[in-house]
Structure 1
Amino acid sequence: MQPDFMSAADLPWWRGATIYQIYPRSFMDSNADGIGDLPGITRRLGHVADLGVDAIWISPFFVSPMKDFGYDVADYCDVDPIFGTLADFDALVAEAHRLGLKVLIDQVYSHTSDAHEWFIASRAARTGDKADWYVWADAKPDGSPPSNWQSVFGGPAWTWDARRRQYYLHNFLASQPQLNMHNPAVQDAVLAVMRFWLERGVDGFRIDALNFAMHDPALRDNPPAPDDGRPRTRPFDFQIKAYNQSHEGIPAFIRRIRALTDTFDGIFTVAEVGGDDAAREMQLFTHGDRHLNSAYSFDFLYADALTPALVCRALAQWADDPETGWPSWAFENHDAPRAISRWCAPADRDAFARMKVLLLLCLRGNAILYNGEELGLTQVDIPFEHLHDPEAIANWPLTLSRDGARTPMPWDDSADAGFGSSSPWLPLGEDHRRRSVARQQNDPGSILSATRAAISLRKQHAALRHGAVEQCRADGDLLSFERVAGGKRMRCIFNLGPENVALAKRGGAILASANGAGPDALPPYGALILEI
């Protein structure tokens, strides 16, 4: 447990930080080609700084065929021309630092693009210095794949390659071959990539799909998963992922990452960890002071409803002791549907958004805001013929498109919403212009103003930024918990439902209120933060 007297100044910058995720294709287009880019991000950093956040996380901008929109990397150490140049990136970092923003970037170490020079060399022959940089295996005697493993995006996780007359593993698209992270030379190569960006001034990394980084070398079949009543839209859903991911060797690789980042000052690392065993793996990947600083999972990102029980259960996963890592939380991101389109009725969206952002900023851990979340953006319904998302195309219509959360950021209510192109790569949401930054900028009742206020509140109170969480209680739609630090205690109370909730008489100074909440009652989606 952190000593009670410790202030934010005594802790690393990232502990309790608010991080703003930027999806570069959709943030700001500086050259009118329909795709957002690095100079566009730089141009709009003032808006991000005005929110009061501590850092930005930029989704992939590396050289890529864009079959999975940058998560299929063809060159880890260069910028794809659609996003700009390395000089543009350096200018972005310089401007972010001038504004007091740290810069985090994505790293994808479980796989590359099949256009990466490493894979081209690996598939050329079974001999050579990169022959075993990817996961290759012979066919079974009947010609079938080496194991029954299934791809996240649908179909077998093995593809036959005629050049080597072997199968290669891909946990995602067939064009995303799996790196063989058991090979020390591969680990050395990706650590060199990490050093390249550290030396360019980045302040940390969000590591994608880290629990997919290593597989079972024996290639044992995954066992069938029992039917738990959840929808099964892909073959992947029918298996317990015991052997294609989550290998026990991953923490040793993480320790190598930590040894490198510790040679630089103030570096923050956070892992994305999905799957049925995410809670255990997040603890493992962040344990003690030799692993990553933080991790986040999909506790909220794919939840059908935001309930008090869900919040208390998620918070309970992270004990407040020196050996347990520090959590990060996201309600939205580029892979998940917009939260206010999942969690409330259309008529309640604005009220819900104001409550939701205050809740996120009161949770113990880092808060990750996705671009547009501060505006209350809704999920956009993208017709099949306009889809880009390969997962949605492959599993149509049972998988909700990720494209609906990746639409252009609305900066004003002009024809192109200030995005910079009249023909953006994805259509603007029908209601997004009226939710633009310009529309909300000077409105004290707007979701944007509520977001700024919630971030400011967090910064002003050590209990909210890095304090302990106690007494999390779920009573119907009523959620309450306390945050404690430096001898100060704050009670956080939220109504997650559409009906009024009466409160017992409560003392304490009101520090924040959402949607007209008072000490005696919470209106629908009301919230109250008290210092007690």
Structure 2
Amino acid sequence: MSAWAAQRRLQSDGHRHAVSIALHQGCQNQPQTDGLSDVTFVSTTPARATDWWRGAIIYQIYPRSFADSNGDGIGDLPGIIEHLPYVARLGVDAIWISPFFRSPMKDFGYDIADYRDVDPMFGTLADFDRLVQRAHELGLKVMIDQVLSHTSDQHPWFVESRRSRDNPRADWYVWADPKPDGTPPNNWLSVFGGSAWQWDPRRRQYYLHNFLASQPDLNFHHPAVQQQVLEDIRFWLERGVDGFRFDACNFHFHDRHLRDNPPATQRDTKTVMETNPYGMQRHLYDKTQPENLVFLQRVRALLDEYGAASVGEVGDDDSLKTMAAYTADGDKLHMAYSFNLLTSERSAAYIRQQVEELEAQMKDGWACWSFGNHDVARVMTRWGGPGASTDFIKVAGAMLMSLRGSVCWWQGDELALTEADIPFEKLQDPYGKAFWPEFKGRDGCRTPMPWSSTRPHGGFSGDATVEPWLPVPPEHLARAVDLSEADPASPLQALRRFMAWRKAQPALIGGDIRFFDAPEPVLALARTPAADQPGDAVLALFNLGSEPVSFELPQAPASVALDDHGFAGAHRQAQRFTLPAYGAYFGKMV
């Protein structure tokens, strides 16, 4: 064990002792409400200084598209290091780096061929170590993607597994005989289209792939597989990472009996688009199996050795229920997020419904909310709509950061970047190619960060003559970092100010939440500090629409207006509020 890891483990031991004391003390007090609402969701786990992830803002970095340091048109780890001060100035707490491991890049890094090495296109292990060191110097935690449910078909484990039915890793993947008529063993579907089973002529069996055929699923029923992936997690903990984002974390296990999935009684349109038949099944047997809860407990025990945190991606028929189960009891995931706010639905009523439904089920767990990432269209386009003012991202961002939970923030959303329209001939995403033209894939949100409004390709590359792996839309240059830095009214500057103010509001970091009835498109909520927290309760109102709104809010508590954070024109007279287009109101509750 490294000296650094030993220090982390000692800190973790102290953390567990503090947890024991806090839980003992917490049992002596019953949860209380303040009488301001009929429905109040009260946190049962007291916040602790070591729980940095509670209420944290986690900035997602997509390495291919962040910054290219060596002029090959693809972003890399040295490029991330160079721009980490920009991320730190934004005011976030941590970075989440999408996969940078060795990979054939059939799914751009989410098909891993070596869990313990950096792909040469991104740099070296030494570059990663420098990245962790620099991030920590800037006060940023480092979380990395771990894609455990499947590997690349070029991973040495799979290469060995497919050779025969009796080699040492023969059962490391999910293999099954065909039906008597030669068809796949059951009706399971791939998220990326078609059957989830691929015929292999070497073994004369099918193997399971929940995503691309080049991404075979590991067999987590095999104890050696579980032990191996735990050791691979430990490898990065020893290198100093502060946590992990676990990709497709409810896909680890499958039904041993390979039973058919029944038809869906209500089609899933949150996890997949309507044109994808995947949503036509009720996914009872191909994922979210009970054995996964025990495995996640093993993962948590390992993370606790190092004081590290986790956030899991949940894509399920009932994602909120799974999120609650996967974060329950403090012995599985620290946080979880789903696709429920990554949809085209953006009404205030819908957002409120998602939060309230989760809070009703999540007694002691913790959510991580996100309205943008590398898998969905940019929120400025998806929620804001054509021609939306950049003021939209200001109010939407402040709203997201005011919900109870942590936040995953997608790179470039602070610049109010819109979804890029990528022509088919430049499309890279296999998902988009399979469903074109009804679905254009995920490339439109993955275009390179525009650092400069005047340099070729937005200053993304160290070599101005090199064309990036995806084109930089001309409209993004007008919102480049250099222009946003120079404009006090830019979304970048507004969100910086809001994040700085939010850090000083314990209620917004770890407090309880309640909602009030308000007309569309207004979301009205109150955050109150947990019982063991200091600070003021905050009333927050958000107009997510492009027109001013005046309304009565008789159930709202008395409040004194706080800093307007650039949301000019909000006004209150008694119980009547007036919010301008994309406006917000923050009040100290008295």
TM-score range normalised by the length of the shorter chain: over 0.9
Aligned-residue sequence identity (percent) comes to 50
Instruction: Within 5 Å, give how 1:122-271 maps onto structure 2.
Output: 122-226=161-265, 228=267, 232-265=274-307, 267-271=308-312
Q: State the shift of 1:504 in Å.
A: 4.1
Give the Cα–Cα distance (whole angstroms) in 1 for the partners of residues 566 and 261 of structure 2. Answer: 48
Instruction: Within 5 Å, give how 1:313-352 maps onto structure 2.
Output: 313-319=353-359, 323-352=363-392
User: Given the two structures, how large is their TM-score scaled by the length of structure 2?
Assistant: 0.87
**How big is each residue's C-alpha offset from its partner over 1:180-219, in whole Å with a ceiling of 9 and x where there is no partner?**
0111110000000000000000000000001111111101
1:356 aligns with 2:356: no
Give the Cα–Cα distance (whole angstroms) in 1 for the partners of residues 141 and 268 of structure 2. Answer: 43
Give the Cα–Cα distance (whole angstroms) in 1 for the partners of residues 268 and 297 of structure 2. Answer: 38
1:509 aligns with 2:561: yes
Shift of the 384–438 alpha-carbon distance from structure 1 to 2, 3 Å rule, reads same
**How big is each residue's C-alpha offset from its partner over 1:270-318, in whole Å with a ceiling of 9 and x where there is no partner?**
100012221111111111111110000011112x131111221122134
1:295 aligns with 2:339: no
Structure 1 runs (4+) greater than 3 angstroms displaced: 1-11, 226-232, 317-323, 503-507
**How big is each residue's C-alpha offset from its partner over 1:236-257, in whole Å with a ceiling of 9 and x where there is no partner?**
1221111111111110000000
Native 8 Å contact 2:267 2:281 kept in 1: no
Give the Cα–Cα distance (whole angstroms) in 1 for the partners of residues 44 and 324 of structure 2. Answer: 26
Native 8 Å contact 1:511 1:531 kept in 2: no
Shift of the 472–117 alpha-carbon distance from structure 1 to 2, 3 Å rule, reads farther
1:508 is paired with a residue whose SS is strand
Give the Cα–Cα distance (whole angstroms) in 1 for the partners of residues 268 and 191 of structure 2. Answer: 19
1:280 aligns with 2:324: no
Task: Tell me the amino acid that sits aligned with residue 10 of structure 1.
Answer: A
1:419 aligns with 2:460: yes
* Structure 2 partner of 1:88: 127
Give the Cα–Cα distance (whole angstroms) in 1 for the partners of residues 368 and 310 of structure 2. Answer: 11
**How big is each residue's C-alpha offset from its partner over 1:480-507, in whole Å with a ceiling of 9 and x where there is no partner?**
0000013621001011222211144864
* Structure 2 partner of 1:392: 432
Task: Tell me the amino acid that sits aligned with residue 283 of structure 2.
Answer: K
Give the Cα–Cα distance (whole angstroms) in 2 for the partners of residues 283 and 145 of structure 1. Answer: 33
Shift of the 248–5 alpha-carbon distance from structure 1 to 2, 3 Å rule, reads closer
In structure 2, stretches of 5+ residues that fail to align are 1-30, 33-41, 573-577
Give the Cα–Cα distance (whole angstroms) in 2 for the partners of residues 418 and 7 of structure 1. Answer: 45
Give the Cα–Cα distance (whole angstroms) in 2 for the partners of residues 227 and 286 of structure 1. Answer: 25
> Which of 379, 401, 407 is the matching residue for 1:367?
407
1:112 is paired with a residue whose SS is coil
* Structure 2 partner of 1:26: 65
Native 8 Å contact 1:514 1:528 kept in 2: no
RMSD over aligned CA atoms reads: 2.0
Shift of the 76–474 alpha-carbon distance from structure 1 to 2, 3 Å rule, reads farther
Shift of the 401–517 alpha-carbon distance from structure 1 to 2, 3 Å rule, reads farther
In structure 1, stretches of 5+ residues that fail to align are none
Please identify, of 407-416 and 473-482, the stretch whose mean Cα deviation from structure 2 is larger.
473-482
* Structure 1 partner of 2:22: none
Give the Cα–Cα distance (whole angstroms) in 2 for the partners of residues 385 and 217 of structure 1. Answer: 42
Give the Cα–Cα distance (whole angstroms) in 2 for the partners of residues 122 and 470 of structure 1. Answer: 52
1:460 aligns with 2:504: yes
**How big is each residue's C-alpha offset from its partner over 1:100-136, in whole Å with a ceiling of 9 and x where there is no partner?**
1000000011100000000011101101221100000
Equivalent pairs counted in the alignment come to: 530
Give the Cα–Cα distance (whole angstroms) in 1 for the partners of residues 326 and 43 of structure 2. Answer: 26
Please identify, of 498-507 and 483-492, the stretch whose mean Cα deviation from structure 2 is larger.
498-507
Task: Tell me the amino acid that sits aligned with residue 276 of structure 2.
Answer: R
> Which of 520, 524, 531 is the matching residue for 2:581?
524
Give the Cα–Cα distance (whole angstroms) in 1 for the partners of residues 552 and 208 of structure 2. Answer: 58
**How big is each residue's C-alpha offset from its partner over 1:24-57, in whole Å with a ceiling of 9 and x where there is no partner?**
0000000000000000000000000101111000
Shift of the 133–430 alpha-carbon distance from structure 1 to 2, 3 Å rule, reads same
Give the Cα–Cα distance (whole angstroms) in 2 for the partners of residues 407 and 515 of structure 1. Answer: 29
* Structure 2 partner of 1:488: 536
Native 8 Å contact 2:567 2:585 kept in 1: no
Give the Cα–Cα distance (whole angstroms) in 2 for the partners of residues 498 and 218 of structure 1. Answer: 53
